[in-house]
Structure 1
Amino acid sequence: MNMIRVAEAQNSPEINNERSLLSLEQSFDLDNNSANRLYSEHLNKYMLQLFDILGLKDMDMKGARGVEIWLNDGRTLLDFSAGLGVLGLGHNHPRIIEAERKCHERKIVDCIKVAPHKLQGALAYNLSRFLPAPLAVSFLAVSGAEANEAAMKLSERVQTPKGKKKFLCMQGAFHGKTHGALSLTTATDVQSGFLLGVPKENVIYARYGDIGSLREAISAETDGSGGNSIIAAIVETIRGTSCEIPPAGYLTEFVQHCRDNDILSIFDEVKVGMGRSGRFCAFQHEAAVPDIVTLAKTLGGGKREVAAMVTSQVLFDRAYGNKQDCNLHSSSFSGLGESCAVAIETLNILQDERLIENAERMGDYLSKGLQRLKTKHPKHVLDVRGRGMFQAIRLNFHQGLAEKLVDIDRNPLFQTYQTVLIGALVRELYDRHDILVHFQPGARDILHFMPPFVVREKQIDKLIAALDDILSRGLGDATVRFVAKNIKRVFKGIA
């Protein structure tokens, strides 16, 4: 590949000399050092520092397909992070690329706000075919947080005329970082320093997976006449931060308790919906049907920002059921033509290629491999959790060399010593085994595996073998190498 440096680009005759703009071709061909400098100076230098700590700053990507990412240095990576759930179909699925080509060939209208767009209706119809009745009416959005905001606003429109003023969410939940969704997010300290869209006094909490705790929270808000102040209760059907599955029957009871108390139920399927759990939605492992469900990530086929809130016609009518109110909630970029086309094709791919079934089958295969690791390395692996293409292992960082590294917590770049240890594993898998995985700041002892639904057994075998190699050598071995590679930052932070 013909790489280009920023300094050379600025002197190129192809450049717009008035503003020294980079052309698209020059942007494609930036060398890695120049690209990182632009990222540091014009995006987020602190994120770049975190990528550097994990060894990922110099991941100079050439292309990708399916589960594989190809680097300019000749390495081929297996992507078990999948854009944190976005890449259900994998990178650059050929039918998604073809769907985009068809849009360009037809010169479709991408954005029209003064007339209906046929692709919006087609997408909403297709979504309804995957969901149980009465979930049939969609609001299209561009992110999971925005879909959750739409769910909150619809709930408010339905319930606030009754005098209800509060939302019930789960302790440790994550629903997004926009102001409204952030109000219901307690998984990490992401609320710190922000004014919230919903005041704290209007948010109450229950323990995840604990129906007794849900009952207590509702009871505490119930007055003498039997009424309560709760607009809606929202829950992740599989917890995104810790990869926890609630007890069997929990979601069904959750919905029933909400209905018995005139509380709307919202299931957040942003991360695990669209087939990742081995069902289109994770709640479909039970008989539960919520009032509202939110979807995103895989819906965009790995190429477009598409999300949806889906509810019943009855609730939509109660919230926005007249010509004056029908557009009270809207978004400039929701339902763009090509985005809808890609989402339509995504749903067809899931069905035609039986990828949801493959997610369940490969999930069983992955789970068995992780369970073997737990049996072989009981001192290191405490728990295997999740289902389908969203699984994780919980690691024991309170033994061996790890105990001697607790003082590293004084380094502000490492919030806790657990961050060092989980970071060491992420870097070891990348440096030595060409595998990408991730963890969440709110659960630093849990290593996540979220491969695309197209993953094959031999690719899972490579992951299991890599983890076995690392655990056989001991967590301390990987940690020593990680600290050695970041020693300058460690001493700088301590100093």
Structure 2
Amino acid sequence: MRRDRLVGKSLLTLDQCLGLDNAAAMELYSQHLNKYMLQVFDILGLRDIDIASAQGAEITLTDGRKILDFSGGFGVLGLGHNHPRIIAAERRCHDEHVIDCIKIAPHKLQGALAYNISRMLPEPLDVSFLAVSGAEANEAAMKLAERVQTPKGKTKFLCMRGAFHGKTHGALSLTTATDVQTGFLLGVPKENMIYAEFGNIESVREAIQRETQAKGNRIIAGIVETIRGTSCETPPPGYLEEFVRICREADILTIFDEIKVGMGRTGQFCAFQHSEAVPDIVTMGKTLGGGKREMAAMVTSQALWDNAYGSKNDCNLHSSSFSGMGESCAVAIETLNILEGERLIERAGRIGEHLKAGLARLRIKYPHTIVELRGKGCFQAVRLNFGEELAAKLVDIRKNPVFVTYQTVLIGALTRELFERHSILAHFQPGAREVLHFMPPYIVDEAQVDRLVDALDDVLGRGIADATVRFVAKNIKRIFG
């Protein structure tokens, strides 16, 4: 008999799931989720991290060990773990039986959230589409731009080489930070993509010029990360303003992707607000959900919205089943009020300056290892010069594809040392394996920042060779097995 037709399928109860020991939980993860991702966690020493709870910037393990989380859910945890006001907002929704889902009538919290978002942005960014992920928000931005521009015969998108905008079919077409396109039919074919170099405005001009003919160009929109999420690179002063100006002169819509760096992380609500530039469309997410809810948004002007969807027949051409769920909207509303009322955006800027000062001291102390400081506010990174010949003496990656590059061995060793020796979580991205990222919540204090800097000092002081030897030893079966 087929398994799905058996009576009494022995489903796990919630009590049983919360009570699983780590070994049993990881066995279920391996069998029914993604055993290969579990292998990656194992390499980094994180497979058996047995979490009891999390609060603020700290994760508490079942053995009582406290972990300082500078990975920040890759941008999700601007408010930290389990912010008390977010929990209170959820509890109020439960106590008052606030409706979550209604599709045949408007939900008052959706309009209220969209209003609050507009208050944080410059005019004319007044109209939102609510989504559940950054990739979905970017898809919404692309589709709106297409609706406006394809009647003019425009068929192409301008994006930056090495960008990351998501992994869904449309957003995937824009993502070249790492090789995530191979093996997929892209939502926007490659022949409809035009590339320029990030931070190089002349490259943008040249890309537009190449596509310009007597009747104009065929570019729908240009999309850019205001700070690169993978490499943590910041564009030069004036770049965003000039990007908007030359695109508008060429009748090209502008989309700023603020998914990872927006929501106050850089000391302004959106990173582009450090400049005078105002895009036609902006996307945001991650911290918008307060660290508890899946929430993102695409925001544009009323004029562009009307152009794309401005009739009763067209108003629902783009929608999503879980767009604007009641409790998610409530949490996002409270998140914006926390950012504003507790002045966490300004705090993110101040904490960022303290972090940058500490990292700058380490750069002076280790000039041959730390070659560049990157980022702004509570999204910063160090670009490292490991000297790959060191790893080559210790492991032959040609026989061990799990490591991909020598940089993977070295950055993996460094992050594992921070975790195992100092109980600190930091991270790196596959598209920039020489860059170590720090994304603390905005509520982190100076002493916790100092703890990170001291830990990095200790690991670098011991030497990359020491960290690499320990890393290789702990992965010996993968290297020689």
TM-score range, shorter chain: over 0.9
SS in 1 for 2:264: coil
- Structure 2 vs 1, CA of residues 409 and 78 (structure 1 numbering), >3 Å: closer, same or farther? farther
CA distance in 2 between partners of 1:301 and 1:478 (Å): 35
In structure 1, the residue matched to 2:214 is: 224
In structure 2, the residue matched to 1:95 is: 85
Q: TM-score when scaled to structure 1?
A: 0.95
Q: How does 1:41-440 map to 2 (within 5 A)?
A: 41-225=31-215, 227-398=216-387, 401-405=390-394, 407-440=396-429
CA distance in 2 between partners of 1:17 and 1:386 (Å): 56
CA distance in 1 between partners of 2:451 and 2:308 (Å): 50
**Amino acid across the alignment from 1:195:** L
SS in 2 for 1:204: strand
In structure 2, the residue matched to 1:36 is: 26
* CA apart distance, 1:407: 2.6
Q: Deviations over 1:251-309 (max 9, x none)?
A: 01000011000000000000000001110000000000000000000000000000000
* CA apart distance, 1:443: 0.4
Give unpaired runs (5+ residues) of structure 2: 1-5
- CA-based RMSD of the aligned residues comes to 1.0
**Amino acid across the alignment from 2:78:** G
Contact 1:405 1:417 (8 Å CA) reproduced: no
Contact 2:55 2:83 (8 Å CA) reproduced: yes
Moved beyond 4 Å, runs of 4+: none
Contact 2:388 2:407 (8 Å CA) reproduced: no
Q: How many residues align?
A: 476
CA distance in 2 between partners of 1:63 and 1:473 (Å): 32
Give unpaired runs (5+ residues) of structure 1: 1-15
SS in 2 for 1:391: strand
CA distance in 2 between partners of 1:440 and 1:402 (Å): 19
CA distance in 1 between partners of 2:461 and 2:389 (Å): 13
- Structure 2 vs 1, CA of residues 326 and 418 (structure 1 numbering), >3 Å: closer, same or farther? same
Contact 2:72 2:439 (8 Å CA) reproduced: yes
- Structure 2 vs 1, CA of residues 219 and 405 (structure 1 numbering), >3 Å: closer, same or farther? farther
CA distance in 1 between partners of 2:233 and 2:136 (Å): 24
SS in 2 for 1:413: helix
CA distance in 2 between partners of 1:312 and 1:335 (Å): 19
Contact 2:124 2:301 (8 Å CA) reproduced: yes
Identity of matched residues, %: 73
CA distance in 2 between partners of 1:115 and 1:214 (Å): 44
Contact 1:400 1:476 (8 Å CA) reproduced: no
CA distance in 1 between partners of 2:218 and 2:397 (Å): 46
SS in 2 for 1:478: helix
Contact 1:409 1:417 (8 Å CA) reproduced: no
* CA apart distance, 1:405: 3.9
**Amino acid across the alignment from 1:38:** L
